[in-house]
Amino acid sequence: MGARGRRWFVIAALAGVGALVLVLISLLPIVATLLLVGAAVAVWLGATELQRAAREAGKQAKEAQAEAAKLESSYRELASYFRLIDEPVMVCDERQTVARVNEAACHWLEMDRDDLIGRHVDEVFTNAEVLSLHARAARGERCRRRVTIAGENGYRVAEVSAVPVPLVRGGSSEDGSESRGVLLALRDVSELARALEVRTDFAANASHELRTPIAALRGAVDTLQGPAARDEAMRTRLLSMLDENVFRLEDLIRDLLDLSRLEALEGSAKLSLVPASELVHVLTQNFEAMCERGGVTLRFELDGELEHLRTDRNLLTIILRNLIENAIKFSESGDEVLVRGTIIEGDTPGAARTCVLEVIDQGQGIPLPMQQRIFERFYQADTSRDGSKIARGTGLGLAIVKHAVRTLNGAIKVKSVWQHGTTMTVELAGAVPAVKAQKRGG
């Protein structure tokens, strides 16, 4: 190729390059547009993803908030249940200090909540058995024991449960083991313990009281069958002993049955109209023979309004029977036993009135130190009443009276002066209807 040809070739190449450049320049707006569109699409896609992520984050935040609200509500609910438990409950942490306590525990321990929180358990309890239970629970053992705890108002018996509980806060202890607290729950069983003690004492006393006349009967029968078989004077004396002890057994069994029924039915009196004149008739007949033997006069002095008396007939009969029997038994020949019935008006017009029944004797009275014990089962103040001249009773009469009066929502009081007689007073609130109610009923 010559020089001319090369020149034309360069010109043609330059022309092609120029044309290509012109084409590219013409395509620049299109490319720019495509780039802008791509960028816009990318931005839109990114914004959509961000919106989706934001929505997802918002949803999770709402779920977390709802869960937190639910947990807070559950915590408050459980906390309210904890406070409302009517038995003492407290939680101690791994340092053996009080972390949680309910109102019942504060009342039982007679301390404010602020004073209890943060105290070491051995500052709260001084009883070695309670502290031993706490130590065993801190080692992971569930345990329970009945303990007697001394307090300012005397001794109380409690059923103490100690349970290990994992701690929510605090993670693990220094040695890497799980932190553990102790839940102490106390149930006051003082009344139950006293009831069991009374029942045990009652069974022991009852068996003793039953053995005494039975042993006398056994001895008299053996003697009658042996040495006294042909001794008329001895036979007469032994038969009198048999008769006396049979009566004693009958009285004891009657009183035991009365007391058992009263304890089983306490609080369930059957109220009905009980005219006082009917009571006078029944009681006069019951004690006629006893009064003749002792030379004692039984007199009734009852308010006429007591014809409208509304109470439990059987319970009132038991009360008066026992009180009158005691009064006659401890009276001397020529004495008088007075049964007086009066009425106390209600506090407001139209309110039911109180019946007051007094059994007054002229016996030797009861020494002051013994007056608080005469309502105990099997307690007999024989020394105060010249026991050498008076037949021994069952020791249950006044205990029966106390239960019967309590069942009628009444009260009983004793007033006695040594050598000057005794007055037993029974008050039955609301036993006499108001005057207006009587007029309407008539």
> For the segment 171-205, what is each residue's pLDDT rounded down to a tens digit?
444 544 567 788 888 888 877 777 676 666 666 66
Q: Does 3.40.50.720 match the CATH number of domain 193-264?
A: no
The 10 Å Cβ neighbour count of residue 308 is 22
Contact residues for 345 (Cβ-Cβ < 8 A; gap 6+): 353
Q: Which residues of the chain have pLDDT under 50?
A: 170-173, 175-176, 383-389, 437-442
Could you state, in order of their start, the residue ranges of all structural domains in the chain? 89-167+178-188, 193-264, 268-441
pLDDT value of position 267: 56
pLDDT value of position 271: 85
**What is the model's pTM?**
0.53
pLDDT value of position 426: 93
Distance CA 51, CA 67 (A): 24
CATH code of 268-441, in short, is 3.30.565.10
Structure tokens at 85: 């438990």
pLDDT value of position 341: 93
For residue 297, the cross-strand partners are 336
Angle at 152 between CA 122 and CA 80, to 5 degrees: 65
pLDDT value of position 357: 94
pLDDT value of position 209: 64
CATH code of 89-167+178-188, in short, is 3.30.450.20
Quick one: the chain helix, strand, coil %, rounded to 5?
A: 55, 20, 25
Distance CA 237, CA 293 (A): 19
> For the segment 253-303, what is each residue's pLDDT rounded down to a tens digit?
777 777 777 766 655 778 889 899 999 999 999 888 889 988 999 999 999
